[in-house]
Structure 1
Amino acid sequence: MTHTDLASVLDGARVVPVLTVPSAATAGPLADALAAGGARCAEITFRTPDAEQVLRAMAAHGGLTVGAGTVLTPQQAERAVAAGARFVVSPGFDEEVVAKCCELGVPVVPGVASATELMRALRAGLDTVKLFPAEPLGGTPMLHALAAAFPQARFVPTGGIDAPRLPVYLAVPAVLAVGGSWMATAAHLQRGEYGEIRRLIAEAVHGSST
């Protein structure tokens, strides 16, 4: 899989809301809020018991391209794709997860935290990786350093990024898209603040297009 596969799936979207959704009951209103805010894609993390049901419900929404995040095993990757995931994201590089995703024909974005891990991903035939956790690793200076050494690589930085830092990351030429959870947090969902989610999504989408 190459970055062109993922870019095609993302269809120009440069902001990927990363969502940890505790209950499938919130999937419908959340999908509506994302779409109303202008989001075209979302990553549903496999961190909750309802993750598959949430993924299935949001994939059926029609207005969103939905992927699965925090995928740690080939079995999770298989379940995610069966539930409607169009791409798979992992916090680290795992050969078996990558192989399963290639077998299933979906773009996979493994996490890397070092040049060594990036070299392993490139050797596996990938050229798009998730820099994770981006901010604790050094943020954009780390991205610039890796991009200089590996000009063929594209990045989806995620982890610790917030609204003020979004434009800084998007300005890095090697960045394909930026993942972030600030737009729809667990607290927003717990309080049912779908209007606020819509506002934050719209703000991020607008910022990514300027």
Structure 2
Amino acid sequence: MALTHQEILNRTHAAGIIPVFNHPDLDIAKAVVDHSYEAGVRVFEFTNREKNAFEVFKALRIYAEKYPDLLLGIGTIFTRDDAQRFLYAGTDFVVSPAMLPEVGAFCRMKQVFWVPGCATLTEVYNGKVLGAKLVKTFPGNLLGPAFIKAAHSVIPDIKLMPTGGVEPTETNLKDWFSAGVHCVGMGSQLIDRKEIERGDFGGLKHRIALSLDIIKSLRK
């Protein structure tokens, strides 16, 4: 049974961290999901950045069914057609790197949880108008925690997720969560491509566990 938007919103908040990852090798993608889950991840974003991303995601979606409490979404969606393809493949949510009305309108029609990437207050507001319950502030390293505070000062009910430049350190995470983020997206800072390609997942699990512990302490 499909989750409501509020249920997905609750789960993304509880998750704290959403790993953002892509790889053309299905076995590596499966291993990343496995080790991330073991470390405590419950929401995962696979991105549409490789030529075979659709095929890998389809297989990964089936594979991830062994984790009934894991949400698996698709990121880097620029077009309505791509949103439609991945929706048929079973994505739990759709993330765009930009504020794309065409994608937003499609997701709203299909009642799909959509997360637009926004870099201005106008884009954040337009995303909300299009039905987004969660907005990705991107690129996070350029906008910074100050943007989160500024957006909340005028749109206090919007939920924001910085992605890009978020680091698995106490200092960085404290800056973001003190600013009022809903959760954070983490890519290369969390998942070291060279590590995982040589089969070393210890660093990944350590960074995830450390980050989750930090977030838990910040939310007390």
Same fold (TM over 0.5): yes
Which of 77, 80, 95 is 2:86 aligned to?
A: 80
Worse-matched range after superposition: 123-132 or 31-40: 123-132
How far apart in 2 are the matches of 1:58 and 1:200?
Answer: 23
RMSD over aligned CA atoms reads 1.9
What is the identity, as a one-letter code, of the residue corresponding to 1:140?
P
Cα shift at 1:48: 0.8
* Unmatched tracts of structure 1, length 5 or more: none
TM-score by length of 1: 0.90
2:204 is matched with 197
- Flag the 1:126–1:30 CA change in 2: closer, same or farther, 3 A: closer
* Count of residues in Structure 1 that have an aligned counterpart in Structure 2: 207
Cα shift at 1:100: 1.5
Q: Give yes or no for contact 2:74–2:94 (8 Å, CA) kept in 1.
A: yes
1:170 is matched with 177
Residue correspondence of structure 1 range 60-209 to structure 2 within 5 A: 60-61=63-64, 62-63=66-67, 64-137=70-143, 139-164=144-169, 165-173=172-180, 175-181=181-187, 182-209=189-216
Cα shift at 1:209: 1.5
Cα shift at 1:39: 0.6
1:23 is matched with 25
Q: Deviations over 1:45-104 (max 9, x none)?
A: 100123223323333323221111111111111122222210111011111101111223
What is the identity, as a one-letter code, of the residue corresponding to 2:194?
A
* Secondary structure at 1:66 match in 2: strand
1:32 is matched with 34
What is the identity, as a one-letter code, of the residue corresponding to 2:216?
S
Worse-matched range after superposition: 27-36 or 183-192: 183-192
How far apart in 1 are the matches of 2:10 and 2:60?
Answer: 19
TM-score by length of 2: 0.86
How far apart in 2 are the matches of 1:37 and 1:179?
Answer: 16
Cα shift at 1:9: 4.7
1:55 is matched with 57
- Flag the 1:39–1:127 CA change in 2: closer, same or farther, 3 A: closer
* Secondary structure at 1:163 match in 2: coil
Worse-matched range after superposition: 74-83 or 189-198: 189-198
Cα shift at 1:3: 6.6
Q: Give yes or no for contact 2:22–2:29 (8 Å, CA) kept in 1.
A: no
Worse-matched range after superposition: 139-148 or 25-34: 25-34
* Unmatched tracts of structure 2, length 5 or more: none
Cα shift at 1:108: 0.2
2:43 is matched with 41
Q: Percent identity?
A: 30
Q: Give yes or no for contact 1:17–1:179 (8 Å, CA) kept in 2.
A: yes
What is the identity, as a one-letter code, of the residue corresponding to 2:114?
V
- Flag the 1:123–1:4 CA change in 2: closer, same or farther, 3 A: same
